[in-house]
Amino acid sequence: MSRLSRVLGAAALAASLTAPFSLPSTAFAQEAGAPAAKQYIPLATYRVGAYASSGTPVWGGTIDYLRYLNEVEGGINGVKLTWEECETEWAVEKGVECYERLKGGRDGSPVPLFLPHGDPITKALTEKSAADKIPLLTTGYGRTEAIDGRVFPYSFTVLFSFWSEASSAINYIAEQVGGKDKLKGLKIATVYHDSPYGKETQVPLDLLAKTYGFENIQIAVPHPGNDQSAQWARIRQIKPDWVFLRGWGVMTAVAIKTAAKTGFPVDHIIGGIWSGSEEDVRPAGSVGKGYLAITPFPAGAEFGILKKIKAAIVDQGKSDLKDLKSFGSVYYNSGVIETIIAVEAIRTAQARFGKRPLTGEETQWGLEHLVLDEARLKELGADGLVQPLRLSIKDHEGGGAGKVLQWDGGKWNIVSNGWVKSDRELLLPVIYERAAAYAREKGITPRSEDTAEASAK
């Protein structure tokens, strides 16, 4: 090796190892002086990896809504928004690295909240974000116990936890068979992704089965779920009345195809939130017709806010989406919905703390006092899209209802009667128990409702 190349090699190595030092520091910068004009929101996204096709439409919805807010409404009460993406590949380490890198804020604006977008990432960040006082906002996924804000002040499983998903699915089935008393004796099989995400619904389904008297059969599908012939052969043997599909990624499409292959009626399969988007069903092709899914993110482009986004952003060529077919899809709308929730929480907090970029602590107050009633939703153009929400310290979920969609081969149609609610009165006590157990294990003292109010600035 010549001298020159050796020297270059050494220089490159040294540069690569010391470069991070020389790049702008992201130390937490919050001066007491003049407030910055823009609120910074970090976006942990994934555009590569096994789940990229599920993720890309979500960021499309989020970014389009943020652009709409900035351009048409001038931000939140005049405070415009800026954001930055950080690729996580849905992997824990990258999610943690993104969080650590971006949590300090930017240009004088602190981070108001963090959307982890991924179950494992959420779990890894739970304690860190509590220590950093940055609320984690997880809509339609995340730790169910975090509904109890007394133990999890900085984790918000808003809208629809997995327990609510299971319960709502059962309630929809009950509607189909003529009432909850008719559930007795039914066989309901859950085909689930063999991972913590998939197993999250085992406990609530067990409880619901005992309460309503149906038979609860759990069938595991190993990751990634390429080949489910054995599982569906078993289903053929068991002959359940309904199948609840808790899939993720490729598992959903293969499940639908295999079900059709083995003769199970596809219109008796209800998929959960993350088995319920166009990207999940399309690869199954024509056999997917009739497949049902329950989700807090209804599909469709007819909602008021979506029409506004279309006019102001999409039609002007400013959309983040490369494939405009995804506009109005379930995942695109999920991005819009969770951003609406985040923005409204910030707005609620601004009413108390001032119209400026807010900190995580202040946004946490906003989240815990978030009320989105029918009137406000109509104003936003989101009635029918976002369910009515009321959060509090004991209820970080706020809603707990979903709509049931049916695939007609080309698009989703809403087939449920409005929002199908879950059995919250039944589930909340168990959730509180689990939160208390977590608190005991970690040595956390749960907040009481009065001290929480008092400690807010």
Partner 1 sequence: MPPALAAALAPVRRPVLPALPVRAAGLALLLAVAFVAIPLTATDYWYNAILIPFLIMALAGLGLNLTMGYAGQASLGTGAFMAVGAYATYNLLLRLPELPLPVSLAGGGLIAGAVGLVVGLPSLRIKGFYLIAPTLAAQFLIEWVFNQVGWFSNYASSSAISAPRLVFLGYDLSSPAGRYALTLTSVSVVTVLAWRLVGSQTGRNWRAVRDGETAAAVIGVPVARAKLSAFFVGAAVSGVAGALWAFAYLGTVDARSFDLDRSFQAMFIIIIGGLSSLSGSFIGAAFIVLTPILLTHLSNALLGGSLDGGQISNLQRILFGALIIGFLIKEPNGLAALLGRLRHPAR
Partner 2 sequence: MSFFLETLAGGLLAGVMYALVAIGFVLIYKASGVFNFAQGAMVLCAALTFVTLTERDVPFWLAGLITLAIMVTLAVAVERVVLRPLVNRSQITLFMATLGLSYIIEGGSQFVMGASVHELDLGISDLPVAIGPIQLSSFDLVAAASAGALVIALWLFFERTRIGVSLRAVADDPQAALSIGIRLPVLWAAVWAVAGFVALVAGLLWGARQGVQFSLTFVVLKALPVLIIGGFTSITGAVVGGLIVGAADALAEIYLGPLLGGSVSTWFAYGLAVAFLLVRPAGLFGERAIERV
Chain residues binding partner 1 by CB under 8 A are 1, 3, 6, 9-10, 13, 16-17, 19-20, 23, 25-27, 45-49, 52, 56, 85-87, 89, 92-94, 96-97, 100-101, 103-104, 120, 123-124, 126-128, 131, 144, 194-197, 199-200, 202-203, 223, 434, 441-443
From partner 2, partner 1, none, interface partner of 197 (C-beta below 5 to 8 A by class): partner 1
From partner 1, partner 2, none, interface partner of 126 (C-beta below 5 to 8 A by class): partner 1
Closest CA to 410 of 329, 334, 313: 329
* Contacting residue, 236, 352, 390, 442, with partner 2 by CB under 8 A: 236
Measured from the CB atom, the residue of 325 and 352 that comes closer to partner 2 is 325
* Contacting residue, 221, 305, 314, 380, with partner 2 by CB under 8 A: 221
Query: Taking the CB of residue 27, how many other CB atoms lie within 10 A of it?
Result: 7
CA distance to 15, 201, 330, per residue, from 12 (Å): 5, 51, 46
Length of the chain: 457
Q: What is the CA radius of gyration of the chain?
A: 23
Binding part of the chain for partner 2, among 166-174, 215-223, 374-382, 438-446 by CB under 8 A, reads 215-223
What's the closest the beta carbon of residue 203 comes to partner 2, in angstroms? Answer: 15
CA distance to 86, 90, 104, 137, 193, per residue, from 114 (Å): 12, 15, 12, 6, 26
Fill in the per-residue mask, 410 to 439: x = in contact with partner 2 (CB under 8 A), - = not in contact. ------------------------------
The distance from CA 203 to its chain's CA centroid, rounded to whole angstroms, is: 20
- Residues contacting residue 440 through CB under 8 Å, at least 6 positions apart: none
From partner 2, partner 1, none, interface partner of 283 (C-beta below 5 to 8 A by class): partner 2
From partner 1, partner 2, none, interface partner of 230 (C-beta below 5 to 8 A by class): partner 2
Binding part of the chain for partner 2, among 19-27, 174-182, 222-230, 374-382 by CB under 8 A, reads 222-230
DSSP 16: H
Q: Which of residues 13-72 bind partner 2 (CB under 8 A)?
A: 47-50, 52-53, 56
Query: Taking the CB of residue 196, how many other CB atoms lie within 10 A of it?
Result: 10
From partner 1, partner 2, none, interface partner of 32 (C-beta below 5 to 8 A by class): none
What's the closest the beta carbon of residue 219 comes to partner 2, in angstroms? Answer: 8
Query: Taking the CB of residue 4, how many other CB atoms lie within 10 A of it?
Result: 8
Q: Can you state the percent helix, strand and coil of the chain, rounding each to 5?
A: 50, 15, 35
Measured from the CB atom, the residue of 320 and 344 that comes closer to partner 1 is 320
Measured from the CB atom, the residue of 123 and 308 that comes closer to partner 1 is 123
List helix spans (H) across 160-249.
162-177, 196-199, 202-212, 229-238
From partner 2, partner 1, none, interface partner of 200 (C-beta below 5 to 8 A by class): partner 1
Angle, alpha carbons 237-240-243 (nearest 5°): 115
Written as six digits, the tokens of 221 are 């599908």
What's the closest the beta carbon of residue 259 comes to partner 2, in angstroms? Answer: 11
Q: State yes or no: residue 230 binds partner 2 (CB under 8 A).
A: yes
Using DSSP bridges, classify how beta strands 269-271 and 292-295 pair: parallel, antiparallel or unpaired.
Answer: parallel
Q: Which of residues 331-360 bind partner 2 (CB under 8 A)?
A: none
Fill in the per-residue mask, 281 to 320: x = in contact with partner 2 (CB under 8 A), - = not in contact. -xxxx-x---------------------------------
From partner 2, partner 1, none, interface partner of 384 (C-beta below 5 to 8 A by class): none
Q: State yes or no: residue 91 binds partner 2 (CB under 8 A).
A: no
Pair 107, 26: CB distance under 8 Å: no
The distance from CA 39 to its chain's CA centroid, rounded to whole angstroms, is: 22
What's the closest the beta carbon of residue 45 comes to partner 1, in angstroms? Answer: 6
**201 phi and psi, to 5 degrees?**
-90, 0
DSSP string, 260-300: HHTT--GGGEEE-GGG-SHHHHGGGGGGGTT-EEEESS---
What's the closest the beta carbon of residue 116 comes to partner 2, in angstroms? Answer: 20
What's the closest the beta carbon of residue 122 comes to partner 2, in angstroms? Answer: 22
Closest CA to 139 of 158, 166, 111, 162: 158
Measured from the CB atom, the residue of 260 and 435 that comes closer to partner 2 is 260
Residue type, 394: K
Helix axes 330-353, 52-72, angle to 10 degrees: 40
Measured from the CB atom, the residue of 228 and 416 that comes closer to partner 2 is 228
From partner 2, partner 1, none, interface partner of 100 (C-beta below 5 to 8 A by class): partner 1
Point out which residues bind partner 2 (CB under 8 A). Answer: 47-50, 52-53, 56, 194, 220-224, 226-227, 229-231, 233-234, 236-237, 249-250, 253-254, 257, 260-263, 279, 282-285, 287, 322-323
